[in-house]
Amino acid sequence: MLTLEHVAMEYLPGHEVLHDVSLSLAPGSFHFLTGPSGAGKSTLLSLLWLQSRASQGNVYMFGEDITRLERADLPRFRRRIGIVLQDYRLLEHLTVAQNVGLPLKVAGESNEEIDAKVEELLEWIGLSEHRDAKPSTLSGGQKQRTAIARAVITKPDFLLADEPTGNLDSELALRFMYLFEALNQTGTTVLLATHDQQLISLFDYPTLRLKDGTLQS
């Protein structure tokens, strides 16, 4: 599903954030990604959801070489990827329900289908009463739940999550982990970046460890 071959990333010449990273994620696998602050976790995720390009090496996703993908081809790949970022990236002019349903709207689903799926998911995450609220009125935890719901509502082929439980209490964090597990069991490949070693210890999934921009064996 995903293969990186000797990938490097640099934002300034001579200052590599990722160095000689090689990995392979099988379709339907679940991996944690961990490492100290500044290790390169967010940079790796930005590469995988096609926000950034590798400075060196090759990236293969969904059976295609995406290393030098044309800009016009990016949406075709991004529609297959769900992404949860630390800064949420919610659209401030849209309501909670509209933010969550946006990927379905982009995919061309009918308003009736979107409304039904959004309502079911908002009830599950405990935000039904905030469906018409704008992001500026939400707490950090509520924004996090909204961002997660938006990422998973399409049941993507690949889910990338950067500290998705960071603003959630332990009970909610576990609940969302079970949601990620359920998605994984239906075929979604999951890569979840987290500092939470206790959370990692509760689940028997392989862990990728980054340090100084390099994957540790």
Q: Is residue 85 part of a domain?
A: no
Token readout for 216 is 């540790």
Mean pLDDT of 38-58: 91
Same domain, 197 and 217: yes
Count of the separate structural domains present in the chain: 2
Domain with 110 in it: 93-155
CB 88 within 8 A of CB 146: yes
- Render pLDDT for 67-90 as a digit per residue (tens, 0 to 9): 878 888 888 888 999 999 888 999
The domain boundary, picked from 133, 155, 177, lies at 155
Same domain, 64 and 10: yes
Q: Is residue 1 part of a domain?
A: yes
DSSP of 57-84, one letter per residue? EEEEETTEE-TT--GGGHHHHHTTEEEE
38 SS3 class: coil
Same domain, 75 and 106: no
Q: How confident is the model at residue 167 (pLDDT cuts 50, 70, 90)?
A: confident
Lowest-confidence segment of 112-121, 131-140, 168-177, 187-196 by average pLDDT:
168-177
Same domain, 163 and 71: yes
